[in-house]
Every structure is written in C-alpha cells, then in structure tokens.
C-alpha cells in the first residue's frame, strides 16, 4: 500500500506512447520542434488565449524557481504561505534563482493564506523604506500543500489585492488539475482571468514522467527572453525538448490531465471515507483533491507502521496519504481491511 506521494506512481501509458511516437527522425532542438508547436496549440485551447509564452521543465522546483526569478527581482520579496513548497521543500531554489529575493511567510489554515495577514503585509509594504525588503510578488499554491483548494473567487480577490499594490502574481500549480477537478473551474478562470501573471502547471504528479510548464501570460510575456536565458544558465534547457513536449501533448490531449486528476481525487475521497469510518479518526483538512490528512489513533498509527503502509507523518500530527491516477482499488481495500482489524 503506497500512499506516500503521487510521484511514486507510474507514468500514464499515453505518455509513454507519445514519447515513443516522437522518437523518429530528426527534430529541431531547444524547444523549436513541431511537438512544442503542437503543445502551444493545446495550451491555447486549454487556457482560451493566445496571449502567452511557455517553457517546459522536468521538475516543479525548477519551474517554480525559474518562474519566480522573472517576477521578482533580487532585491524584492515574495509573499507566500508559511507552508508553501517554495519555502519548505525547495532548498532555497527561489532565493538562489532570483539571486537573493526573500520569501515573506504568511499564516493561514489549510495552507491557504489568511486574508487579513495578506492585507496587513500589503498595507505595510513600503518600497521607499530602505531597511525592509519590499514585496514584489504574491505566490499562491493550488491545490495547497494541505490538499485544500482555493476557489477561483479567492484567487481573483487575492490577485486583485496584490495588484492594487503593484505586485506580480504567481500560481504554483503542481496539482492544479486536482484543484480544477474539485472546483469544476476552467483553467483560464483559475489562472490569467483571475489575475495570475505566471503559472507553473504541473503534469508530473498527474501522470507524466517529468513535465512542468511555465506559462507567462499577457504583459509578463516581455520576460520570456529573460526566462529562456535563465533556463539556459541554470541548465534547464535540455536539447531534446521534443521528449518533454511529447509528455505535455499526451496529457493535454482530450483533457487527459483533468480526467486523471479526477480519478486521483475520487480515490482520495474513498480513502478519506475508509479512515474516517474508524472510531477516533478525523481529518486535519478537508479532502478537496488527491491528498488525505488523517489524525489517527495510536493503535492505528502502530498498525499502519507495522504493516509498512507508505504515508507521511505531517507537521501538526496528522498522516498524509496521497492518491494518484494509478492508485489500485485493491490498495484501498487492503487499507480498509487493515484498519478494520485494528
């Protein structure tokens, strides 16, 4: 029973087929290939706009750090949740790639920034006060690190507050598909139409091998050359880009990415019901997407450890169980039986 992460899942067969499918003949390198051109078309369709540029990376950390390095200068600050992946899990990559930008950490339940904390931080922002690093960017994450989904309305509202103070906006969408599946929102409504300037769209957790797309919308396109230069300098310009693009093509075709995320979310809902059926078990956060944060009894904790169930103890005392497109029904049943024994 492996509920450690959606990154322990295999890649979807369509992704593997797509890679094999482009493995013939020669193709222009560094993103100038036909597959990348087709991905542009799919992204335009998906996001209902042609007013964007994009770059594909193999990891979420690289795409977040590169994206943030073009929306925040080396002497600026990025407001984000105190549990954000860019703060907790990227080993200082945003600070490193931006050449010194600072992260300003804001509180809020379920890894969603509290509105008053955001308002206070924005109200205090004074770029003319030389001693403090001024906010230049607001970074949100959807799904959040606690598996909750921001609504389109909240993203729109927070982006408007940030923009009123002259900030840029970034959305870490490592699990955007899961947030979309939960809210039923359209990708355009949850990104540029909500005021997001730069999106890092994750497809790896959803079913690709390693494929995370940075999208620069509207006026942010002016930064595209800088983004490419930074990608090259940091070693995120692989020559045979067609194989990354093929993953994106497979995932975006016929909405596969959204369907797979919906499957993962359904599996997580079943898992949440299974754990909550046990007396004394509760959820630390609502299961909006494909992650379940369960507060277990000591007996159940011992039982899952003894059985070698793979899941993560989470700060705050819960255990994180993650489902993916490939979570087998038999794993869910095995977990149910195990807990019932306890």
Ligand X SMILES: Cc1ncc(COP(=O)(O)O)c(C=O)c1O
Point out which residues bind ligand X (CB under 6 A).
Answer: 59-61, 64, 85, 141, 145, 172, 174, 204
Instruction: Tell me the closest approach of the beta carbon of residue 151 to ligand X, in angstroms.
Output: 18
Task: Look at strands 319-322 and 291-295 and give their pairing.
Answer: antiparallel
Which run of H or of E encompasses 42?
Answer: helix 34-47
125 vs 169 by CB, closer to ligand X: 169
Instruction: Tell me the closest approach of the beta carbon of residue 224 to ligand X, in angstroms.
Output: 22
Q: What are phi and psi of 81, to 5 degrees?
A: -70, 150
Q: Which residues pair with 52 in a beta bridge?
A: 217
Instruction: Tell me the closest approach of the beta carbon of residue 62 to ligand X, in angstroms.
Output: 7
251 vs 339 by CB, closer to ligand X: 251
- Are the beta carbons of 263 and 325 closer than 8 angstroms? yes
84 vs 339 by CB, closer to ligand X: 84
Residue nearest to ligand X (CB): 60
- Are the beta carbons of 95 and 64 closer than 8 angstroms? no
Task: Look at strands 77-81 and 312-313 and give their pairing.
Answer: unpaired
Termini Cα distance of the chain: 16
33 vs 291 by CB, closer to ligand X: 291
Instruction: Tell me the closest approach of the beta carbon of residue 25 to ligand X, in angstroms.
Output: 30
Q: Which residues contact 233 (CB under 8 A, 6 or more apart)?
A: none
Instruction: Tell me the closest approach of the beta carbon of residue 64 to ligand X, in angstroms.
Output: 6
63 vs 168 by CB, closer to ligand X: 63
List the strands of the sheet with 77-81, edge to edge. 52-57, 212-217, 198-202, 168-173, 135-141, 77-81, 102-106
Q: Which residues pair with 215 in a beta bridge?
A: 54, 199
Instruction: Tell me the closest approach of the beta carbon of residue 109 to ligand X, in angstroms.
Output: 17
Instruction: Tell me the closest approach of the beta carbon of residue 144 to ligand X, in angstroms.
Output: 8
**221 Ramachandran zone, left/alpha/beta (phi>0; psi -120 to 50):** alpha
- Rounded alpha-carbon distances, angstroms, from residue 111 to 39, 43, 65, 106, 240: 32, 28, 19, 9, 37
89 vs 225 by CB, closer to ligand X: 89
168 vs 290 by CB, closer to ligand X: 290
């Amino acid at each position: 029973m492996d509920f450690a992460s959606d990154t322990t899942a295999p890649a979807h067969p369509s992704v593997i087929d797509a890679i094999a499918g482009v493995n013939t003949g020669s193709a222009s390198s560094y993103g100038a290939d036909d597959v990348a051109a087709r991905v542009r078309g799919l992204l335009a369709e998906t996001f209902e706009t042609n007013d964007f540029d994009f770059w594909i990376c193999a990891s979420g950390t690289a795409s977040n750090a590169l994206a943030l390095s073009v929306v925040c200068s080396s002497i600026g600050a990025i407001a984000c949740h105190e549990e954000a992946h860019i703060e907790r899990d990227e080993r200082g990559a945003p600070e490193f790639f931006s050449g010194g930008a600072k992260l300003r950490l804001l509180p809020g339940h379920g890894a969603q920034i509290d509105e008053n904390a955001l308002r206070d931080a924005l109200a205090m922002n004074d770029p003319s006060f030389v001693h403090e690093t001024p906010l230049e960017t607001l970074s949100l994450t959807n799904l959040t690190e606690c598996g909750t989904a921001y609504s389109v309305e909240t993203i729109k509202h927070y982006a408007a507050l940030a923009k009123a103070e002259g900030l840029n906006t970034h959305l870490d969408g490592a699990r955007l598909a899961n947030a979309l599946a939960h809210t039923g929102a359209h990708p355009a409504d949850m990104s540029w139409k909500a005021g997001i300037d730069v999106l890092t769209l994750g497809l790896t957790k959803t079913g690709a091998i390693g494929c995370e797309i940075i999208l620069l919308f509207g006026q942010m396109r002016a930064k595209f050359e800088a983004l490419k230069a930074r990608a090259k300098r940091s070693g995120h310009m692989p020559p045979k880009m067609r194989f990354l693009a093929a993953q994106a093509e497979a995932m975006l075709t016929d909405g596969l990415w959204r369907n797979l995320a919906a499957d993962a979310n359904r599996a997580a809902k079943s898992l949440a019901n299974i754990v909550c059926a046990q007396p004394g078990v509760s959820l630390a956060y609502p299961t909006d997407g494909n992650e379940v944060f369960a507060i277990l009894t000591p007996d159940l904790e011992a039982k899952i450890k003894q059985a070698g169930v793979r899941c993560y103890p989470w700060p705050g005392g819960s255990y994180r169980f993650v489902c993916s497109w490939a979570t087998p029904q038999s794993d869910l049943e095995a977990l149910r039986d195990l807990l019932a024994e306890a």
